[in-house]
Amino acid sequence: MNIYKKGIFAFLVAGLVILSCNDDDIIAPVEKIDGPGLTEITFSSFEAEVGPDTNGLEDGTYVTVTPLAIGVTSYDVDFGDGSPTVTITVPVRSAFHDYPNDVEEATYTITVTAKSNKGLASVTKTENITIEHEVTAISSAPDSPALLDENVYAIFSDGIESDGAFTAYTNKPSSTDFEAGDAEYNEESVGDIKNKVIQYSRLNGTNTVSISFGSPIIIADVFGTGGSADYFHIDLHSIHEIGVDNVKITLGGKTFEQALETNMWTGLDLDLASEGITQIDDITIELGTGGTANNEATLNVDNIYLSREPLSVPDFTFDDVASDFDVTFTDASLLATSHSWDFGDGVGTSTDANPTYSYTDDGVERTYMVTLTTTNFLDKPTSITKEITVGGPAGPFNPEILKGDFEREGGLSSDDTNIRNAWKISTTGNSNPFGTSSDGSCTDYEGTVGSKTRGAKWSGSQSANPDGTAVPGNTRYAYQAVTLSPNEDYIFEYEYAIKTGGAETNSIVASVLNGHFSNSADAVASNALVKHVGTEAKGKFSDNSCSGGTTMKLQFRSNAVGEVAILIYAVTDVDAYIDNVKVYPVE
């Protein structure tokens, strides 16, 4: 039996009165619940219950009031929020009301007056009810940005979505307060990938959204010093019945109005340069001019970020021929709308995409730092610098050994001075490096066998000591500094001959030295890269049908700077000869 029925039963029992008088029983009339027979209304209580509305929506604001009384024909229900009084006429038992959802929480006093049309006095009861206004959860999210991380300064965004997962943006403010305003703040995760969306509610009256930063955002330096942002973006969404239809956004001293379609995400994009925005201290959002705020007045927000137009990516290749002073550069840039070349020699520039530049041909290998600067369509520059080498040899340098064939220019004896000068070094021995001789090899410098040629000659009196040191005034050293490609393999080739009939220790000593030297003593004492002591004594080159000579080919590796030297001397008591001295790369 419910409470209502229990009350009726109690009244019926209480209304039965048995009176006795002179053994005569008198039965009083029975009172009825709608008034007849009752002397007053019995109003025990009323129940106020929060639940879903007629559409099944449950946001904490829909209340059902059910009074419990006897002797009542109607109830007046005042829900305490200024809305019209609701009258319940029996047998209707309940009144319903949807409170406004414009504040997060409010307490109301519900007043219920029980009335009777049978002349009984009305009875009033009150009860306080606290309504916690809930925000309708968002069920959609905007598309994720497709901009690269390097071009985005993310104030609020999950980042780039790919294959059901987000890659977060890394460039963002050091601190951001999304709750600086008086609008209610919530954050929801939407969908299977849990896309985060901000919900700002109660955006009505003077309530505003305010997003503040630990320090102002300087537009010119968003992406580092001189790396300016170009655009501002924000995604907005609202359902008009429970939200707003127009918002006003203020940032950087400028205000923008944005109308919203119901239940549709809208992106607002601003060109920062065109709008004259140079600094953002905070972002505020409020109800727009002429806008309407309904119910909870919720605005959904996502993807707040600054971005820059993707920068050009400069790159180039060049024909890597070290011996060539004319270099062709080929552009390999991306997103480039202009090109500016600095060829690194302090002279050459170009605005062509694929220029050819001629460096000064001074016969020397040189290195230059070449810079290509490209711009994107907003004329923002980006540069790249590469090192190029021009001039010098193509591959290992093949040196010229001066007077390596010891031949007289034009057959003139006057050229002997030039031959000797090509091989001189300061010494305590004899200043002449050797004697010129007509008893050279039967093979010329190009390798053709024929009659004998001219060569270099040492006699017994021009010999060095056995340890290579100089006999003062007498010893002759042939020396020539040579520059090679660093750290490359070379062949040191020459022919020598020693007359017969001398000591078994007679020799021609030939070396490639590790460096350049200014005197013979240091040269002799140094460590050679390669050295040979030739002792084969078979006569002059031309003896025995031009078979008196011996050809040597010694392999060595140049040092890190390519500076080497040839040193030749004799330790002999008979005549000794040298011819066709060469140095060339190993093939």
**pLDDT score at 246:** 97
Residues 23 and 104 in one domain: yes
Residues 556 and 479 in one domain: yes
Q: What is the pTM of this model?
A: 0.54
- 401 located within any domain: no
Q: How many CA within 13 A on the CB side of residue 366? A: 16
**pLDDT score at 10:** 34
DSSP string, 246-274: EEEEEETTEEEEEE--BT--EEEEEEHHH
Q: Which two tokens stand for residue 9?
A: 């039963």
**Could you say which of 332, 357, 390 is where a domain stops?**
390
Instruction: Decide if pLDDT at 153 tops 80.
Output: yes
Residues 61 and 169 in one domain: no
**pLDDT score at 452:** 93
What percentage of the chain has pLDDT greater than the value 90? 80
Residues 88 and 194 in one domain: no
**pLDDT score at 364:** 79
Residues 499 and 378 in one domain: no
pLDDT (tens digit per residue) in 354-409:
999 999 887 778 899 999 999 998 888 999 999 998 876 666 888 999 999 999 99
Bridge-partner residues for 497, per DSSP?
577
Helix (H) or strand (E) segment spanning residue 390? strand 381-390
**pLDDT score at 29:** 43
pLDDT (tens digit per residue) in 409-435:
999 999 999 999 999 999 999 999 999
Instruction: Decide if pLDDT at 294 tops 50.
Output: yes
Q: Which two tokens stand for residue 480?
A: 């020539």
Residues 98 and 170 in one domain: no
Instruction: Decide if pLDDT at 3 tops 60.
Output: no
Residues 182 and 264 in one domain: yes
Q: Which two tokens stand for residue 325?
A: 């002073």
Higher pLDDT, 546 or 205: 546
Distance, CA of 187 to CA of 477 (rounded, Å): 91
Residues 98 and 171 in one domain: no
Q: How far is CA 450 from CA 2, 48, 410, in A?
A: 139, 129, 19
5, exposed or middle or buried, with CB in 10 Å at 0-12, 13-18, 19+? exposed
**Could you say which of 132, 166, 193 is where a domain stops?**
132
Bridge-partner residues for 298, per DSSP?
243
Distance, CA of 311 to CA of 306 (rounded, Å): 15
Distance, CA of 506 to CA of 105 (rounded, Å): 116
- 404 located within any domain: no
pLDDT (tens digit per residue) in 487-510:
999 999 999 999 999 999 999 999
- Which structural domain, as residue segments, surrounds residue 541? 409-585
Mean pLDDT value across the chain = 90
CATH number of the domain bearing residue 418: 2.60.120.260
Band (pLDDT 50/70/90 cuts) for residue 204 is confident
Residues 300 and 328 in one domain: no
Q: How far is CA 173 from CA 212, 213, 234, 306, in A?
A: 10, 7, 16, 11
**pLDDT score at 136:** 86
**pLDDT score at 363:** 72
CATH number of the domain bearing residue 170: 2.60.120.430
What is the torsional sign of CA 481, 483, 489, 490?
Answer: negative
Distance, CA of 351 to CA of 385 (rounded, Å): 16
556, exposed or middle or buried, with CB in 10 Å at 0-12, 13-18, 19+? buried
Question: What φ, ψ does residue 543 adopt, rounded to 5°?
Answer: -70, 155
Residues 187 and 300 in one domain: yes
Instruction: Decide if pLDDT at 150 tops 60.
Output: yes
Helix (H, G, I), strand (E, B) or coil at 165: strand
**pLDDT score at 26:** 40
Q: Which residues are CB-contacts of 300 (< 8 A; sequence separation ≥ 6)?
A: 138, 197, 198, 199, 200, 236, 237, 238
Mean pLDDT on 200-221: 94
- 67 located within any domain: yes
- 397 located within any domain: no
Distance, CA of 77 to CA of 86 (rounded, Å): 5
Distance, CA of 428 to CA of 521 (rounded, Å): 8
Band (pLDDT 50/70/90 cuts) for residue 284 is very high
Mean pLDDT on 124-147: 91
Give the residue carrying structure tokens 């919530």: 186
pLDDT (tens digit per residue) in 444-465:
999 999 999 999 999 999 999 9
Q: 554 near 532, Cβ under 8 Å?
A: yes
**Could you say which of 307, 339, 373 is where a domain stops?**
307
Q: By 3-state DSSP, what share of the chain in percent is helix, strand and coil, each rounded to 5?
A: 10, 45, 50
- 50 located within any domain: yes
Question: What φ, ψ does residue 272 adopt, rounded to 5°?
Answer: -65, -40
Number of compact structural domains in the chain: 4
Q: How far is CA 462 from CA 44, 91, 150, 457, in A?
A: 143, 145, 76, 9
Mean pLDDT on 506-525: 97
Residues 460 and 568 in one domain: yes
pLDDT (tens digit per residue) in 172-199:
999 999 999 999 999 999 999 999 999 9
Mean pLDDT on 75-92: 95
82, exposed or middle or buried, with CB in 10 Å at 0-12, 13-18, 19+? exposed
- 138 located within any domain: no
Residues 238 and 341 in one domain: no
- 403 located within any domain: no
Q: Which two tokens stand for residue 332?
A: 């390999």
CATH number of the domain bearing residue 371: 2.60.40.10
pLDDT (tens digit per residue) in 545-585:
999 999 999 999 999 999 999 999 999 999 999 999 999 99
What's the N-to-C CA distance of the chain in angstroms? 115
Peptide bond into 91 cis (omega under 30): yes
Helix (H, G, I), strand (E, B) or coil at 407: coil
- 508 located within any domain: yes
pLDDT (tens digit per residue) in 309-336:
988 999 999 986 656 789 999 999 999 9
Band (pLDDT 50/70/90 cuts) for residue 295 is confident
What percentage of the chain has pLDDT greater than the value 70? 92
